[in-house]
A and B are shown apart, each in its own frame.
Chain A
Amino acid sequence: MSTTREPETIVGSINQEPLTSSGSAPKQAETIKLSTERLNFHYGNYKALHDISLNFYANKITALIGPSGCGKSTFLRTLNRISETIRHTRIDGRITLDGEDVLALDVTNLRRRVGMVFQRPNPFPKSIFDNVAYGVRVNGMARGTSIREVVEKSLHRAALWDEVKDKLHETAHALSGGQQQRLCIARALAVDPEVLLLDEPCSALDPIATAKIEDLLFTLKDDCTIVIVTHNMQQAARVADNTGFFLLGKLIEFDQTEVIFKNPAAKETEDYITGRFG
């Protein structure tokens, strides 16, 4: 890196806003579904996230990219407060969902509204049916035959129904990796989330399974707002409307995906996109 512009000077405007190119900023008329304001996150004494301010627009797919260890997964996990399952962590700053402070909401209700799919498929050691129905039962959202309807609908939405409709009561572990991940998506969809967070959902999958899931995301964004963390830039370029670039726990740049990949404003972004580091 020749004439290094320090990340601080780029992001270091008064409001610490991430850089966006003028003229192609996300339209302010679009609704903001989920947002963070000066979000800081600590593991014990270690500060993992620095003043992240970011808007996720409704019914759009936002990708978060950046090198390993840059904090994008950590950030994602604060959005549904699943980070709280680890001890000695602290969130400072504001996270809002439809304008409400997420930290003040009841956390189990939050997690129903903001769903998550994890990096490695983690189906429960139960049947396919019971996996999808789990969230529905636990949240008391349906009973009896309507559970069956919800399960069927969710499996359809996750493009898995045809493959499992004859073996709903078999164990989920008999499915392939790609199928298990789609099952986890169906499971998350069954509770009708408004936001779906996906943490590198395809990193453990083969290209064909990956393609299926990417196609899925396009159909899902009509019903929810999607945030996907990915280390695969091509994936971000393929699926996301907006993209945020993270580095060393800071948000360096956030803009429409096209802009990030064709005309990034920050040198760090450009270096990452062109593969100078990764």
Chain B
Amino acid sequence: MLSLTGACTVVIIGILLVILGYLFWNGARYLTVDFFTKLPAPVGESGGGMANAIVGSGKLLLLAVLIGVPFGFLGGVYLAEFGTGIFPSVVRYMTDLLNGVPSIVIGIFAYGVVVARMHHFSTLAGGVALGVMMVPIALRTTEEFLRGVPQSLREGAMALGASKARTIATVVIPAAIKGIFSGMMLDLARVAGETAPLLFTSLGNRFWSPGWDKPTSALPEMIYHYAISPYDEWHRQAWAAGFVLLTLVLLVNIIARQVLARTSHAG
């Protein structure tokens, strides 16, 4: 049995290594400085880069954080510190529901709420889609780590005359902040790689996208469009972009998970 189950594990680890290896090899091969600094070249021409996609991803993620983190964090505070009755259970159920919704459906939601009303695609719409996707995990992470703070700390603060809000802000949240922050980083990394909700919200853009009300390109969206295109040059750029995206995502994951592992030992 050892050999059979061990073989399964080897296969999976092998797949992981092949994925990483092939991607990094191809990506590194085709990664140039131009990639980070230039705009996409006209169709059919070689050269160019994805500077606009990198900036676009940055803007979209900024919006996602601004929308998703406050609602998720404060909602988590409510569930952990204030919630009574049946309402918290309803919120938790809805949160899990929202978390399980396929990202393409979130895209439809953002399309209906933002794009259809503005009558054009925009960075804002993409940011809304990604922000909504961030909320469930942000909320559950916050709730989980706040609940992990021992009740004795809360009582200790209240026994000194701190009000409930003061206790939460100055004792409970600081005690849980490491875990919450790491969880948020993981959430952000997940959302950074999402493509589907962007396809008909921020759409894509071969040029710079100033402001928030125009379509914008994003790294994952460029990877998709370039990969399915018929041009070899674009395929090469897709590899480079994949390299950059995966490196960032994996780095954040590794760091955040290490921090989380150490928090649970110390806590």
Interface, chain A (partner B; CB < 8 A): 80, 82, 85, 87, 108-112, 115-116, 118, 120, 122-126, 134-135, 138-139, 184, 187-188, 191
Taking CB atoms and an 8 Å cut-off, the chain B residues in 117-165 that contact chain A are 150, 152-163
Total interface residues on B, CB under 8 Å, equals 19
Interface contact B175-A108, CB-CB below 8 Å: no
Interchain pairs with CB closer than 8 A, number: 65
Q: A111: which of B154, B158, B171 is its contact (CB, 8 Å)?
A: B158
Chain B residues, Cβ within 8 Å of A135: 160-162
Chain A residues, Cβ within 8 Å of B153: 122, 124-125
Expressed in whole angstroms, the minimum distance between the Cβ of A74 and any Cβ of chain B is: 14
Taking CB atoms and an 8 Å cut-off, the chain B residues in 232-261 that contact chain A are none
Contacts A122-B152, A122-B153, A126-B174 known; A82 to B163 CB distance under 8 Å? no
Interface contact B162-A122, CB-CB below 8 Å: no
Chain B residues, Cβ within 8 Å of A108: 161-163
Interface contact B160-A191, CB-CB below 8 Å: yes
Q: Tell me if B170 counts as interface (CB < 8 A to partner A).
A: yes
11 more contacts with CB within 8 A, not counting A109-B161, A118-B159, are: A82-B155, A82-B158, A110-B161, A111-B158, A116-B159, A118-B152, A124-B153, A124-B156, A125-B153, A126-B174, A187-B156
Residue among B150, B155, B158, B171 with max Cβ neighbours from chain A (10 Å): B158
A239 to B52, CA, bound (A): 75
Chain B residues, Cβ within 8 Å of A184: 156
Q: B159: which of A87, A111, A120, A124 is its contact (CB, 8 Å)?
A: A111
Interface contact A120-B160, CB-CB below 8 Å: no
Chain A residues, Cβ within 8 Å of B163: 108
B 83-127 binary contact with A (CB < 8 Å = 1; else 0): 010000000000000000000000000000000000000000000
Q: A120: which of B152, B157, B170, B175 is its contact (CB, 8 Å)?
A: B152
Shortest Cβ distance from B171 into A: residue: A124
A47 to B174, CA, bound (A): 37
Interface contact B160-A115, CB-CB below 8 Å: yes
B 164-182 binary contact with A (CB < 8 Å = 1; else 0): 0010001100110000000
Question: What does DSSP make chain B's interface, helix, strand, loop or mixed?
Answer: helix
Expressed in whole angstroms, the minimum distance between the Cβ of A187 and any Cβ of chain B is: 7
Expressed in whole angstroms, the minimum distance between the Cβ of A113 and any Cβ of chain B is: 8
- The 6 tightest CB contacts between A and B, nearest first, are A135-B160, A112-B161, A122-B152, A116-B159, A122-B156, A111-B161
Interface contact B166-A138, CB-CB below 8 Å: yes
Expressed in whole angstroms, the minimum distance between the Cβ of B164 and any Cβ of chain A is: 9
Contacts A85-B155, A118-B152, A118-B155 known; A138 to B160 CB distance under 8 Å? yes
Shortest Cβ distance from B162 into A: residue: A138
Chain A residues, Cβ within 8 Å of B175: 124-125
Expressed in whole angstroms, the minimum distance between the Cβ of B217 and any Cβ of chain A is: 44
Q: List 6 A-B contacts (CB under 8 A).
A: A112-B160, A112-B161, A120-B152, A122-B155, A187-B156, A191-B160
Q: B160: which of A85, A123, A126, A188 is its contact (CB, 8 Å)?
A: A188
Residue among B161, B163, B166 with max Cβ neighbours from chain A (10 Å): B161
Chain A residues, Cβ within 8 Å of B162: 108, 134-135, 138
Shortest Cβ distance from A84 into B: residue: B158
A125 to B149, CA, bound (A): 10
Expressed in whole angstroms, the minimum distance between the Cβ of A119 and any Cβ of chain B is: 9
Taking CB atoms and an 8 Å cut-off, the chain B residues in 16-70 that contact chain A are none
